[in-house]
Chain A
Amino acid sequence: MSIRPPDTDDELLGRLRAGDEAAFQVLYRRRQGAIYRFAVHVTGSSAVAEDITQEVFLALIRNACRYDPERGTLNGYLFGIARKLVLRHLERTRMDVALDGANEEASAPQLAIHDDPGMALADRQRMEALRRAVHCLPRRYREVVVLCDLEEVDYADAAAILGCPIGTVRSRLHRARALLFEKLSQERAGRNEIKDLDPARCWT
């Protein structure tokens, strides 16, 4: 008995264009998670990410014919739409962010997910610190880390999504990791300083 390989995105899209609801559902379930996570990480808001995910797939329902397989993968096409919506959202809220410095910190808790309960406390704290550090990166570095490191999109697709050469993706990723490392080192150093405080000096 032979097992039928799963349909490719392009095959599903062909059926979707013909009005096959099941094909749309398979395609949605296959791709929605990555789009949603990308939007959550770059905007820092799960509510906005939900809206963006919905808009991306609505665009697919309405304009499935606009996707051209010769210009890239369907995954890249969907990420491209998501990125445009994310940028539009960030542009709209730019003034709020600039005026309210606490905004980033306020949105950070939405990044937390239910961690593995078996994970040691120290590991959980490290993961949380890493999540925060990713969120605090400048947008151009944040999106490349999310795409390449968290969603494992290949560099060619990332370049198409970000609209830049592959070399730029590599250099941004390199710089983003350096910034992350710096941020985490600072945080570690801060924690050690607190740990090294002489308790005899505490007045409480």
Chain B
Amino acid sequence: MADPVRPGLMSAERLAHWSECPACANRQKMADDLRTLAAQERKREAPPRVEAFLMAEFRRRGQGRRPMAVPKPAATWRMALWAAAGLVLMASALWRIPGQNPLSVPAVTGSAVQTADMDDAEDGNGFIPLPNAEGLEPNGDVNVVSVEVPRSAVVAAGIPLADDRASEMVKADVMLGSDGLARAIRLAN
């Protein structure tokens, strides 16, 4: 059976039939329109930023690095909104948790953490600097957040802990710098 949308031979009989049968003529018209639409659609392509991103990703992978989480171009704003909402929730939680009001956290000077980092030991508050974390600015703001993390994560942070129950959760306080990045950790119990 001839496919009306795909180009084919137009027999004289078919043309004669269409002149007498409006339904078939309309069907043929629709088939022609589909072809026209297909030709028009050829102009539509993904925006150049997609190619730019993919080429960069190809180069990055070519250098043997592990792929990072890839932001989607159209989802970037959605992700930013979610991140902002998360920060607001975290801030409100800090206000609500008794004893975890950020303003009530005793100021920890950067020098204390820096010293602990160099000595690979706890500071006066029991915080242990995270490996590769930047030092705190002297007199800079800090926040302390209580979290529950797997023991394996604590071990990975360089804190000596028996890892025979790696999947178990432990309570810990994490000290965040003014930029929101974790700087030091303290086991709660």
Contact = CB atoms under 8 A, between A and B. Distances in A.
Interface of A: 19, 21, 24-25, 28-29, 32-33, 35-37, 40, 47-51, 53-55, 57-58, 61-62, 113-116, 126-127, 130-131, 134, 145, 148-152, 177, 180-181, 184-185
Contact of B33 (A21, A127, A145): A127
Contacts of A53: 46, 50
A115 B40 contact: yes
A62 B67 contact: yes
Contacts of B57: 58, 61
Interface stretch (B11-19, B58-66, B101-109, B111-119): B58-66
Contacts of A130: 30, 33-34, 37
27 contacts: A25-B51, A32-B51, A33-B45, A36-B45, A50-B50, A50-B72, A50-B73, A50-B74, A54-B54, A54-B73, A57-B54, A61-B58, A61-B61, A62-B61, A114-B43, A116-B40, A126-B33, A127-B36, A149-B5, A149-B34, A149-B38, A150-B41, A177-B31, A180-B30, A181-B27, A181-B30, A185-B26
A76 to B, nearest CB: 18
Given A53-B50, A184-B30, 14 more contacts: A21-B59, A50-B50, A50-B74, A54-B72, A58-B57, A61-B54, A62-B61, A62-B67, A116-B40, A134-B37, A148-B5, A150-B34, A150-B41, A185-B26
A166 to B, nearest CB: 13
B44 A33 contact: yes
B149 interface: no
Nearest to B74: A47
A19 B62 CA distance: 6
B75 to A, nearest CB: 6
DSSP majority for the B interface?
helix
